[in-house]
Structure 1
Amino acid sequence: MDFEYTERSKSLQEKLKAFMGEYILPVEQEVYAFHSHPENRWKRWPGLEALKEKARGAGLWNLFLPKDYGELSPGLTNLEYAPLAEIMGRVLWSSEVFNCSAPDTGNMEVLAKYGNLKQQQQWLQPLMKGEIRSAFLMTEPQVASSDATNIETSITLEGDEYVINGQKWWSSGGMDPHCKLAIVMGKTDFDAPRHQQQSMVLVPMNTSGVKIIRPLSVFGYYDSPEGHAEIELNNVRVPKENLLLGEGRGFEIAQGRLGPGRIHHCMRLIGMAQRSVELMSQRASERFAFGKTFKDFSSIRQEIARSQCEVEQARLLTLSAADKMDRAGNKEAKDLIAMIKIVAPNMALKVIDRAIQIYGGKGVGPDTPLAHYFGVARMLRLADGPDEVHLYQLGKSVIKKYSGE
């Protein structure tokens, strides 16, 4: 692949860095402090909408969509978008400012790729405009959802309606006061072949029978205001026109959704890790112990050098996956996608941990993003498929390739 970014991507990177420096970093701690108060946990920071308007006016809007969907999308490739996701990943809440935050990105891609015209007009357009937010309901508490064929939520056709019953959790986006839509994965036919039992259906959050049981924290962080919800679906009725693509196509949609999302997650992780290298370098230049500056200890230099090597390795692997997706499609890129999903979270955890160690007590407190980074990186070893699933499938693929089977 050609590792030189396109001129369009380079121009957007410069604009995005300038925007982050002028508008995001100066209020980074203010936003975290606002959401740290329990009474504000599920409220939106008052300055968010103004920042979103500035981003849209600057042409930094819906950058993630890999195809051109009109004036609301620049139509970047995965390779062009990847470094932009890295820049946004440096501040955990910043992606929403550019309408590039999960799970909305994945849900918009689902609606754009699999939704019909009516579904796109009703839900995709408001999402692309940033007028509403959404949730994705797949994982369930009673089954090992790392195997998505295990899910038990039922989607039963009764006349002109689908009736949905089940319980979901880790439903990202479900707590946001602007969350108006959930994409729900369940089973329409429990007796069909294993990968044809599942379907996806659009469920407005105000539908009778949709009940938020509780928000779920990740290592004590609630990721306010979108959060992660546990949700009960009790005889939820929606028109049969709310089904996506067709009965038995849910697993297919899920696979199409998760490929680009894994690229986004990995590049954001690289952004966290790169900023961690920068923070530990700054700390090493400022602190003294035993008569020397931290940066003059060989062990500190080695930790920083090793960290930068690992960040760059993960970055190049992720760009390689993005390039393969653009040129050959998600299916052909599946091995590289599995590799980055294994490599990036584990790399980020090691680098962030070193930064915390160099920072000392300050590293585990609220005055740096490091502790929150660590929680997010650890969670991402599970989200969009745990390490073990990707290792299992990748190992199978590699063995097949080299054993002649």
Structure 2
Amino acid sequence: MAFEPTPRVAELQARLQAFMAEHIYPNEARHMAEAEKLGPFAVHPIIEELKPKARAAGLWNLFLPKDTAELASRVLEPGQGGAGLTNLEYAHLCEIMGRSVLAPEVFNCGAPDTGNMEVLARYGTDAHREQWLKPLLAGEIRSCFAMTEPAVASSDATNIESLIRRDGDEYVINGHKWYTTGASDPRCKISIFMGKTDPDNPNRHLQQSMILVPMDSPGIEVKRSLPVFGFYGMPDRASEVTFTNVRVPATNMLLGEGRGFEIAQGRLGPGRIHHCMRLIGLAERALERMCTRSLQRVAFGKRVADQGVTIERIAQARILIEQTRLLTLNAAHKMDTVGNKEAKLEIAMIKVAAPKMACQVVDWAIQAHGGGGTSNDFGLTVAYALARLLRLADGPDEVHEAQIGKMELRKHKA
């Protein structure tokens, strides 16, 4: 099946590529310098400078699908509604944004905000949308998603130990979270918190709930920023956060008690495919750098590009990228045509394939750059850190592989 972009998407691609060339690529070194100098608890000025330009260019909230935009329509301002694209259409644009770790947030298309905005649009009340979704759509605030915990294997979400207890017209929240992306950002104003409201329910998937927790609530402490392979604040503002007797109104509960696992599954599907789309762009950029560098360097009397091992790796990288792109586009198409639940096999496959592919391609690019590839000068170290992180984020490889294997075995049972 052909997955060529429609004329409308092709036009958006051209505009996006032009913006990347004019504003994103020339500012990557500045972004890296600001992240290193200012750290993960600061606003990085280059991002705030470029966001209005992206909005003015009509390249804002491109992730927002038509049905979600319709749900959010009561709080959407002019220019905030995105392009109403399908998953397949957005895939072509998300790949371009993935070429730079600076780009997604500039276009208001970065994690975890995209997933949180969809949750608020689908499951929030009108009051929730007005208070939190509206400024998120405008890029005025950021958000975080508090699910993973240090004391348990959070790859099994039913292990979560955090508690959400009803007390009259309020809920009292206690929990210890980490790898809570975005919590250290001073613009982070709201958390979607996952904890147990009914820990004794015999159905382990009905024990959890999700609730909105303002980050300025008494009892919240962002204890530290967690490095990702030594990077703080990029490519991921991973944070450790404690919630101690935090009180929020009972109206902050999303969808109802016991619906947390259901919301999580709905949230993670689109998030997983967005990660995979961006990883394809990341790998394409690494391959470009590998080719350019190997054509410029001479070793043992000939260009690195003419060494047999380099030619083989370039060929293998191209094959891996094309395979993963087709898998990802097919998953997006299936999500559009039969729904996220029916596309769970395809989503699981790309969530395994894309990060592994990107890790391998970036690793080969580092080899082609020699010692310089391990520095921050060529953007490969942060690219590898991001790709390797995504073999764990939104479910580790092993969880998805187990799911794939079980679905395959099911076909052959009597």
TM-score by length of 1: 0.97
2:179 counterpart SS class: strand
2-structure distance, mates of 1:7, 1:366: 38
Does residue 158 of the first structure (1) align with residue 158 of the second (2)?
A: no
2-structure distance, mates of 1:222, 1:86: 24
Q: Which amino acid aligns with 1:352?
A: V
Q: How does 1:316-395 map to 2 (within 5 A)?
A: 316-395=326-405
- Please, which of 307, 326, 332 is the counterpart of residue 297 of structure 1? 307
Does residue 100 of the first structure (1) align with residue 109 of the second (2)?
A: yes
Aligned to 2:25: 25
Please say if residues 112 and 124 of structure 1, whose CA atoms lie closer than 8 Å, have aligned partners that are also in contact. yes
- Please, which of 185, 189, 195 is the counterpart of residue 198 of structure 2? 189
Deviation, 1:116, is: 1.5
Does residue 64 of the first structure (1) align with residue 63 of the second (2)?
A: yes
Please say if residues 228 and 236 of structure 2, whose CA atoms lie closer than 8 Å, have aligned partners that are also in contact. no
Please say if residues 170 and 230 of structure 1, whose CA atoms lie closer than 8 Å, have aligned partners that are also in contact. yes
Q: How does 1:131-280 map to 2 (within 5 A)?
A: 131-192=140-201, 193-224=203-234, 227-280=237-290
Deviation, 1:360, is: 0.4
RMSD across aligned C-alpha pairs, in angstroms?
Answer: 1.2
Deviation, 1:225, is: 9.1
Deviation, 1:9, is: 1.4
2-structure distance, mates of 1:346, 1:40: 28
1:202 counterpart SS class: strand
2-structure distance, mates of 1:123, 1:207: 15
Structure 2 portions without partners, runs of 5+: none
Deviation, 1:291, is: 1.1
Q: Which amino acid aligns with 1:261?
A: G
1:171 counterpart SS class: coil
1-structure distance, mates of 2:317, 2:286: 9
Deviation, 1:118, is: 1.2
1-structure distance, mates of 2:42, 2:177: 23
Aligned to 1:4: 4
1-structure distance, mates of 2:114, 2:237: 16
1-structure distance, mates of 2:101, 2:320: 21
2-structure distance, mates of 1:370, 1:268: 15
Please say if residues 24 and 102 of structure 2, whose CA atoms lie closer than 8 Å, have aligned partners that are also in contact. no
Aligned to 1:75: 84
Does residue 112 of the first structure (1) align with residue 121 of the second (2)?
A: yes
Deviation, 1:47, is: 3.1
Please say if residues 342 and 387 of structure 1, whose CA atoms lie closer than 8 Å, have aligned partners that are also in contact. yes
1-structure distance, mates of 2:325, 2:191: 32
Aligned to 1:46: 45
Q: Deviations over 1:23-51 (max 9, x none)?
A: 111111011012212x4442222232231
Deviation, 1:224, is: 4.3
2-structure distance, mates of 1:362, 1:83: 31
2-structure distance, mates of 1:198, 1:98: 32
Identity across aligned pairs (percent)? 58
Q: Deviations over 1:268-293 (max 9, x none)?
A: 11111111110000011100011111
Deviation, 1:357, is: 0.4
1:47 counterpart SS class: helix
2-structure distance, mates of 1:226, 1:334: 26
Deviation, 1:222, is: 1.3
1-structure distance, mates of 2:208, 2:254: 11
Please say if residues 65 and 86 of structure 2, whose CA atoms lie closer than 8 Å, have aligned partners that are also in contact. yes
Deviation, 1:94, is: 1.4
Q: Which amino acid aligns with 2:98?
A: G
Q: Deviations over 1:250-275 (max 9, x none)?
A: 00000000000001101111111111
Deviation, 1:298, is: 2.0
Q: Which amino acid aligns with 2:48?
A: E
Q: Deviations over 1:33-77 (max 9, x none)?
A: 12212x444222223223111110111000111223444122111
Q: Which amino acid aligns with 1:252?
A: E
Aligned to 1:123: 132
1:75 counterpart SS class: coil
2:178 counterpart SS class: strand
Structure 1 portions without partners, runs of 5+: none
1:60 counterpart SS class: coil
2-structure distance, mates of 1:191, 1:156: 13
Q: Deviations over 1:150-207 (max 9, x none)?
A: 0010000000000000100000010111000000000000111110000000000000
Please say if residues 30 and 46 of structure 2, whose CA atoms lie closer than 8 Å, have aligned partners that are also in contact. no
Deviation, 1:2, is: 3.5
1-structure distance, mates of 2:374, 2:144: 30
Q: Which amino acid aligns with 1:220?
A: G
Aligned to 1:14: 14
